[in-house]
Amino acid sequence: MKQVLLTGDRPSGKLHLGHYVGSLLSRVTMQDQYDSYIMVADVQALTDNFENPGLVQKNIYEVASDYLAVGIDPNLATIYIQSQIPEITELTIYFMNLVSLSRLERNPTVKAELTQKGMTESIPVGFLCYPINQAADIAVFLGEIIPAGEDQQPMIEQTNEIVRRFNRIYDVELLKECQAHIGLNGRLPGIDGKNKASKSLGNAIFLSDDTESIRNKVKDMYTDPNHLKVSDKGQVEGNVVFTYLDAFHNDKDELVELKEHYKRGGLGDVPLKALLFNDLEALISPIRDKRATLSHKFIKEVLLDGTSRARTKAQETMRQVRAAMGLNHFT
Ligand code: TRP
């Protein structure tokens, strides 16, 4: 039996390079080693977009296209829609008994999101509880390997606390602890250099961006604000162009030399940005081309088939969960 790899994304926008280095690439490279479950997390997306269901609905297909375009193979990985698996919702309710309010309020990722989204005054309960829902996402499929960005580490810890409590209280060895598999480049900054790359902050390069958008975003990228003349000494640290070159430029020796040259002075931003543009265009153009071949009908078939397979697995776990909790009244 292969171990279960499980992950997902909120369909609140198209996926970008941060997703690619944080998680998408590992999903593709690991998909034949593990039993892979990849979810379009629409229920979670609604926790901060409940007033905007149209946005979530539209982006389910965008996210699924991104998955297929980067090379997630629907014959190897089960791709499904979270809201269509009611077993996740049921397990979420049972898990709520196992988590305290103060524990939820301490989750650093949730805290950061509340500040970023201006929700500190009046916190919707649904949003505060999404880590419990995410624990159920993972546990119901017995997920063990979770490819995700660095910001998901607190969710994994919270999931493991819940899983351990569940197994101990109901005296079973049913649910599995999981571990994050953080992509090589953990965290990719946005082109503004201030925040992480994020669809909501508008500072990301999308896997579906056209050539001109990539060119313009690279042109706008934050470098070293004190590097005014080519002859000036430049700073590499915090310079987004170098952070991206670290993530995407394959010739590492050349990169070491470029950094030295930049620090010494005499290397301008323009040639560096040209180099980065070439790297990004080479990466994204095949993804863009693949995306263009995917019909709505095909994506729907993939989602329908994946959701049906996922549901079978979730139902199997829930039969055991209910038995452990004394809820199997009619069986
Ligand atoms: N929280 C993830 C995000 O912000 C999405 C997600 C939902 C997820 N359920 C998951 C990730 C389960 C890993 C495992 O995009």
- Fold exhibited by the domain 211-290: Tyrosyl-Transfer RNA Synthetase (1.10.240)
How far are the Cα atoms of 209, 218, 220, 260, 271 from residue 281, in angstroms, in the given order?
9, 11, 16, 25, 15
pLDDT of residue 185: 61
pTM: 0.95
**Angle 10-198-120 (CA atoms, 0-180°, nearest 5)?**
80
CA atoms of 155 and 123, how far apart (whole Å): 18
**Series of mean pLDDT values for 10-residue runs along the chain (331 residues):** 96 95 94 97 97 97 98 98 98 98 95 89 94 98 94 96 98 98 80 84 94 97 95 96 96 97 96 98 98 98 98 98 96 82
Ordered by start, the domain boundaries in the chain are 4-189+295-325, 211-290
Domain 4-189+295-325 shares a fold with domain 211-290: no
**Residue 133 CB less than 6 A away from ligand 1:** no
Please tell me the residue having the least CA distance from ligand 1 atom 13.
7
Residue 287 amino acid letter: I
* Atom 3 of ligand 1, residue of closest alpha carbon: 9
Mutate to test the pocket of ligand 1, among 20, 38, 39 (most ligand atoms within 8 A of CB): 39
41 touches ligand 1 (CB under 6 Å)? yes
> Encoding tokens for residue 129?
């509880």
How many Å lie between the centroid of ligand 1 and the Cα of residue 76? 20
Strands 35-40 and 77-81: parallel
Which amino acid would we find at residue 89?
T
pLDDT at 242: 97
Helix orientation angle between 252-264 and 240-248, rounded to the nearest 10 degrees: 160
CATH of domain 4-189+295-325: 3.40.50.620
> In three state form, how does the secondary structure of 238-274 look?
CCHHHHHHHHHCCCHHHHHHHHHHHHHCCCCHHHHHH
